[in-house]
Structure formats: C-alpha cells, structure tokens
Structure 1
Amino acid sequence: MDRLDGIRRRHEASLAATVGSFAQHVIYRSTKDHVCPICGGAKKSGYACCISCSTHQHSPHKALLADTVRIFAYAPMECSGDASHQMTRYMYRYKENRPDSERARAAIEEILVTELVLRWGCIKEVSGGVAPTAWATIPSTINSPRAGVEHPLHRIVRQVLPSVPEVGLRAAGVKSRSLSPDLFQLEGEYAPNTLRHVLLIDDTWTTGGNVQSAAVALKRAGAQRVTVFCVARVVNYAFCASIGEGVANGFRSLPFRGGNWCPWHCVRES
C-alpha cells in the first residue's frame, strides 16, 4: 500500500503540474445550493438536481441509469483566451491532428491514470465493495465524421487499462443531448462476471444524454452496476448567470483542489 501511495503521489504531483494552473475540480455540493449532486452542473436553488439530470431521473428508464457519476474538471462552454478555459481547448484539441494535440492527449492520459488506475480501490469503495470488471467508452454516432474510426479516447483508455476487459458499444443512431435508450447497443455477448461492474468513460458531459443512454444499454444487456467517469463537465456561464446572482462567478472561481483530491470520495486527502 505504501508503494502504491508513493506512485499515486508522484502522478498527482505530475497531474497538478500539467493541469493545475487552469483545471477546476468538479464539485457536487455548495453552500448556495446551485450545484447538481449528480453531475456537478449548475441548477436552480430549491431543485434537487439540474434540468437534464431531473429529466433523466423522471424517465421510465430511471432504474437503468448510471449508479455513480464522477467528473474530473469543468470546461467552460465559452472558450476564450483566459487561462481558465484551457481545459475546454484541450477537450477539442486532443481529437485533432495539430502541433499541440499531443500535449492535450498526454494530459487526458495523465488524468485517467491518476484518477482511474491509481484510484481503483477508491472506485471499489464507493461501489459497494465491487471493483470494475470491465470498461466501455462512448462510440462515435453514425452521423459523426469519426464514424467507423477508432475514437481518440478509446485509444487512450485501451492503453491505460490494457488488462481490464472491454465491453464494446456501437451506435445505432445519431447523437442526441436527450436520453435515447436505443442509441447504443453492445457489440457481442459478455459473461455475467464481465458485466458485473462496467466503468463507462467519456470525454465530455454536457447534458449527460449520451452517457446515460449508454448506461441504459449496458444495464439492458445485463450490467449489474455502471460507474461513469468523464474528463470534463461543460459549464455554461450564461445559464449560470440566468439562475441566480453570483452563480456564474461562483463557478468561475472554483479552484484546482490539489493533487491529493480524490474525485471518488470528494475529499482532500492528507
């Protein structure tokens, strides 16, 4: 355990050096009641969760939604020249073929290694003592320019989790921001032990429609538990400003909580 802690501390320090100057850790509660406890997005005061998550929770497919959702950092929808918007630029650039794309891909790989591989035990602890038995990523939908080509995130996850079985997903429709239970299907059949706990990984959460649609597909196929991890949660400052005074500034001022922040337990470790 001491050796694992040492390795994790080194990776946490490396991650802090890579994204600590601009990344803002996602939070799931706030004193002003403007943070959705499911996805960390902005919500109106007095409501249980944000509009999108509320729609998912009140759908006929509620029992098939992801059991746990964790997201690493916020990515502002309005990508300006501010340093705080670097996370947004990374989420675009890691998919592209340009001189600075490799830096963005390396940052995402560092995030996945630190928050998934080196926190495997934390995922197990928040999942009823059951560690992930497989992983899956969201495939490109059939109208995407990347349809039929390996998604950059899939390539990174395949390299980060080489010894963990993959559950393949394929798109059966076009991308939608709403919950679409028939949007994804499993490629092939999988043993019950493989489907016991699927770690579903995506790059960006906007409304959660695609991720939750994939969770529904996995559970329909027999997955007993689905845990979602997304690299970035899109935050719309204009919407934040519309739901309450100071809400937008509250999100803008959120810090990077340091390399010792556990996104699974939502605590800073000593």
Structure 2
Amino acid sequence: MGWNGGIRVTHEASLAATVGSFAQNVVYRSAKDHVCPICGGAKGAGYAVCVSCSTHQHSPYKAQLADMVRIFAYAPMECSSDASNQMTRYMYRYKEEDRVGSELARAAVTEILVTELVLRWGCIKEVSGGVAPTAWSTIPSTTNSPRAGIEHPLHRIVRQVLPRVPEVKLRAVGAKSRSLSPDLFQMECECAPDTLRHVLLIDDTWTTGGNVQSAAVSLKRAGAQRVTVFCVARVVNYAFCASIGEGVADGFRSLSFRGGQWCPWHCMVEP
C-alpha cells in the first residue's frame, strides 16, 4: 500500500474533477446537534444517535456491530422517490451495464474507492488502533434481488482496487431487510484468525444501515475481531430532515466537497 505523494495528489485531483461539483462530504457532528455521530444521518437535537442507529444499539447484537462507520458523501433526496441529485443518480447508475451514464458512474465509484481506501490506507490504520485491515468484504445481493447469485458490481470494483488484500466472502441466505437481521449473511468458508483480525466491510449506500450492520454481526460471529465499514454514499432525505427540526434540511444542503483537504477517516465536524 505504498503510494507516493504525487500519485495521491493526482488521484485527489481526478476525484475532485469527477464529483467535486456535486458531492457533499459526510460529517458526524454539527453545531446544532442534528447529525448522528455513527452514520452521519439526521437526528433530533438532544438525541445521542439517529433512530436507525439507536435501534441497532438497543438490539441484543450491540457488541457485534461495526467498530467504526465512515462514509464518503451524501446522496440527497428531496423525498423518498427523488433521484435528481447527481451523487444519488450515480449510486443507481453504476450498477447498470447499459444505462446512459453508467460507465461514468462506475468510474466515479472506482476513483472514490482508490482515493479513500488505497491512498488513505495509513489513515484507516491510524484510526483503528494501529491495526491495518487484514481483509475486505462486500455485501452480496440478497435472495430477493434480481442480482441474486450474480457478482455484485461493487464487488467487481473492489477486487480490482484491493487485489493484494485477502477477501472474506459473504453469501446472502435471506431477503433484503432494512432492519438488523443477524442471520441474513454467512461467511462462505472459514478464514484464519489473522485474516479476521480487521475486516474492511465495503458497501455502496447507507440508508438505515440494516444490511451493513447485519453483515458486521455475521463477521463478528464468525470470528472477526474488528469490523470497519466504509460506504460510498449516505442517503439523506430532506423531507425527513425538515420533520425533525427547523433548519436541519438546510444544514445538510449547505455542506460542500472539500477534496484533498478532507479525509473521511479523520475529519468529522462541519465548521
């Protein structure tokens, strides 16, 4: 994972050129106390975390949840059926082979993963107690998905981005659910303890976090000592934001992309 400064600057510039005009970096704290410190989503002032993360933390599986969650950018929606934002459209289109703009969307997802995982590998190690990831895993398509049994587009990208890092492969044994379902995923085969020391669990979008945390619980049950989640985008619904407090939606709308000055592993607070 040794990348020199010139390569890093080149990739950061490429990422800025690709998504810099519309991506908004995820934050985990705000002056008005409306950001969930776990997932970067909207929460009511005075509450410790958002509704979804609170549900996960009050489940019997609290001790087996991901140790850390970090997300690259927001995928905003005016309402649940809206996909007018470019980042939100990219998260739909990168999965489609024959859709207009799909190739550009896949290139953006690839650039995000290279920049924030490969080039910031040392940052992941630093915020994880000095333990670099020893393996990676992605979320497979669930049994009720049209892609069930087929390689997920994100998996294809990650195995190209992290070719020298061992994979811990998961398989879905149930249908997709937005709630925490600890039996939804299983490891395909046993892995050595050293491989499971620190698993980097990668997904494309976080809405409620149910699928990702279900996978984290599965990995912990199978022996993973540490699970770090990285998602490309965090869905944020402005209509929901408006319902929990005045100015909350506007606060999320005002966030910006700060390129190479922003490390998703270290930077947490919106000024």
Does the CA contact (< 8 Å) of 1:9 and 1:260 recur in 2? no
**2:268 matches 1:251:** no
Q: Is the 8 A contact 1:91 1:203 kept in 2?
A: yes
After superposition, the Cα gap between the structure-2 partners of 1:9 and 1:48, relative to the gap in structure 1 and judged at 3 Å, is same
Tell whether 2:46 aligns with 1:50.
no
| Deviation of the 1:267 alpha carbon | 6.5
1:22-59, Cα deviation, whole Å (9 max, x unpaired)? 00000000000000000000000000000000111111
For the pair 1:226 / 2:227, whether they are aligned, the reply is yes
> Greater CA deviation, 72-81 or 104-113?
72-81
CA gap of 1:2–1:180, structure 2 versus 1, over 3 A, is: closer
Aligned to 1:151: 152
1:92 — aligned with what? Answer: 92
Secondary structure, counterpart of 1:153 in structure 2: helix
Asked whether the 8 Å contact 2:70–2:264 carries over to 1, the reply is yes
Alignment of 1:250-269 (within 5 A): 250-266=251-267
Aligned equivalents of 2:238 and 2:63: distance in 1?
31
Q: Deviations over 1:136-176 (max 9, x none)?
A: 00000001000011100000001000010000000011000
1:76 corresponds to which letter in structure 2? P
Q: Which has the higher contact order (CA 8 A, sep 6+)?
A: 2
The C-alpha deviation readout for 1:163-199, integer Å capped at 9, x for no partner, is 1000000001100001111110000100000000000
Distance 2:259 2:110 in 1: 18
Q: How does 1:153-168 map to 2 (within 5 A)?
A: 153-168=154-169
CA contact (8 A) 2:25 2:258 kept: yes
Q: Matched residue of 2:230: which SS?
A: strand
What is the alpha-carbon distance in structure 2 between the residues aligned to residue 189 and residue 109 of structure 1? 29
Shift of 1:6: 2.1
- Kindly indicate whether the alpha-carbon contact (under 8 Å) linking 1:196 and 1:224 is maintained by their aligned counterparts in 2: yes
State the match for 1:194 in structure 2: 195
Confirm whether residue 71 of structure 1 aligns to residue 80 of structure 2: no
Runs of 4+ in 1 over 2 A off after TM superposition: 77-81
Letter in 2 for 1:22: F
Please say if residues 3 and 119 of structure 2, whose CA atoms lie closer than 8 Å, have aligned partners that are also in contact.
no
Q: TM-score, normalised by structure 2?
A: 0.95
| 3-state DSSP of counterpart to 2:205 | strand
1:11 and 1:44 map into 2 onto residues whose CA distance is: 37
Q: Please give the alpha-carbon distance, in whole angstroms, between the structure 2 residues aligned to 1:7 and 1:258.
A: 15
Residue 253 of structure 1 deviates from its aligned partner by 1.2
Give the distance between the partners of 1:92 and 1:75, measured in 2 at CA: 10
In 2: Cα distance, 1:147 partner to 1:39 partner? 27
Q: Distance in 1 between matches of 2:27 and 2:5?
A: 24
Matches within 5 A, 1:98-113: 98-113=99-114
Q: How many residues align?
A: 265
Q: Is the 8 A contact 2:76 2:235 kept in 1?
A: yes
Shift of 1:99: 3.2
Kept in 2, the 8 Å contact 1:12–1:260? The answer is no
Distance 1:6 1:80, change over 3 A: same
Question: Is this contact kept in 2: 1:168–1:187, CA < 8 A?
Answer: yes
Superposition RMSD in Å: 1.5
For residues 216 and 267 of structure 1, do their structure 2 counterparts lie closer, same or farther at Cα, with a shift above 3 Å needed? closer
Question: What is aligned with 1:34?
Answer: 34
TM-score normalized with structure 1 length: 0.95
Contact 1:65–1:215 (8 Å) recurs in 2: yes
Structure 2 CA distance for aligned equivalents of residues 3 and 139 of structure 1: 30
Deviation at 1:13, TM superposition (A): 0.9
CA distance in 2 between counterparts of 1:21 and 1:267 reads 21
Deviation at 1:246, TM superposition (A): 0.7
